[in-house]
Amino acid sequence: MAKSTVETVTITRLGHLGDGIAETETGTVFVPFTLPGERVEIERTGDRGRPLKILETSPARTAPTCRHFGACGGCALQHMKPEAYLAWKREQLRVPLAQRGVEAPVAPVVPVSTGSRRRAVFAARRVGKQAVFGYHARHSHRIVAIEECPILRPEIANVLPGLAKLAGPLTPFKGEIRIGVTATDTGLDVAFEGPRPRPPALAPLAAPLLQQLGIARLSIAGEPVMTFAEPTVTVDGMQIALPPLAFLQAAASAETVMGRLVGDAVAGAGRIADLYAGIGTFALRLARQVRVLAVEGDGPALTALAEAARRARGVKPMETLKRDLARMPMSAGELSAFDAVVFDPPRAGADAQAREIAAANVAKVVAVSCNPATLARDLKTLVDGGYRVDRITPVDQFLYSPHIEAVAELSRDT
């Protein structure tokens, strides 16, 4: 085990995960929950420092809003004043673009409010005879039990003790489970993943407890085991039946902003391909005005999208295509039949697909991403293929975390 020492360091900058960075004679040290310009007494182990005392405080520091901040690893930046925080978030996008040599105007960050996050993933593990429910500590497998979370929508935040009670009998004796919770129009969609709980564990979970917590559906390993109401979400007035574990943008307000940005960017297009379409975050909105091909590899998500489009009024006929775009991207020839392409890939980005888009004769492209590094890589591919980046808008739907969403608008002369 590495030996710990007590040292005093000066924080010079923030790393991409939000940790303060200090340069010392014995190397770089990362200190969470600190800010540039601060002198901090730390307990150091290797290149990690645990802050013991802030000796000189940054003017950008503010009081955190949550009692668990500093123990829970869910938030990294509650201690930073809004103006400095949003400026740092913008840099998280600007820096990787510059490193890739992509010249692009980056707009100010669009913020979200506290209490707006509609989905969260918790963890639970047995410690002795008790099950601990909460978030992981920073850089640790240890679970911090939580009683509040100011970033979550009230439907989730107000029932955290009840969710912990629910997790208790479903937590196996060995291993850790993940509990995904999504606030939907009809109630909470709760999904347990990981080591399967003992079959008798469901017996104590009487329906009144689940209804008291506002749970619409309880799923285990992707299979619904109790459903009181079909979980639905609304996109531009259209209802979507949410499959278990389906991807959903973290904040509805951020989704609305991104939908508007995407729609404005492709205005005037006659036919649009929406790649990695998911449940239809963008495809359904676009179909109000134009014919859309929605391509998605997740079968249940694509089925939910197709059914929502079929039921909706005032939308153009929509085509859907099930396809794993990482393994079999849409070819340049296929894409050249469209006036615009929208793509919103997972964090790994769309390396192969971006190369095909770059070779296609498509006038407008919109890239949506939650990973600045892979976004910068994919944009570089498109720029090298003849596109120009007209604007990038960061959207801070991952409040107080080091992550940032972005919508990039590109065009080319065809």
Q: Specify binding-site residues for S-adenosyl-L-methionine.
A: 249, 276, 296, 344
Nearest to 377 by CA among 16, 98, 95, 100: 100
| Helix %, strand %, coil % of the chain (to 5) | 25, 35, 40
User: Tokens standing for 151?
Assistant: 């970033």
Residue-wise DSSP of 302-350: HHHHHHHHHH-SS---EEEEE--TTTSPPPHHHHTT-SEEEE---TT--
User: Residue 289 gets which letter from DSSP?
Assistant: T
Rounded Cα–Cα distance for residues 292 and 236 (Å): 16
- Which residue blocks in 200-266 are alpha helix, DSSP H? 207-212, 252-265
Distances (CA, A) of 249 to 73, 100, 227, 238, 241: 21, 27, 23, 16, 15
d(CA 111, CA 393): 11
Please name every residue paired with 161 in a beta bridge, in sequence order, or none if there are none. none
Distances, alpha carbon 297 to alpha carbons 35, 170, 237, in Å: 42, 31, 25
Contact 309, 286 (CB under 8 A): no
For residue 12, count other CB atoms closer than 10 A to its CB.
13
Task: Quote the tokens at residue 93.
Answer: 């996008």
Nearest CA-CA partner of 341 in 305, 406, 387, 308: 387
Q: Is 59 in a helix, a strand, or coil?
A: coil
75 is catalytic: no
Place of tokens 């190397």: 27
Q: What one-character DSSP code corresponds to residue 397? A: -
Tell me if 368 sits within 8 A of 262, measured CB to CB.
Answer: yes
Distance, CA of 105 to CA of 92 (rounded, Å)? 14
SS3 55: strand
Q: CA–CA separation, 67 vs 137, rounded Å?
A: 14
From 66, 75, 149, 370, the catalytic residue: 370
Cross-strand pairs, 408: 367, 392
Q: Is 81 helix (H, G, I), strand (E, B) or coil?
A: coil
The residues assigned a catalytic role are 370
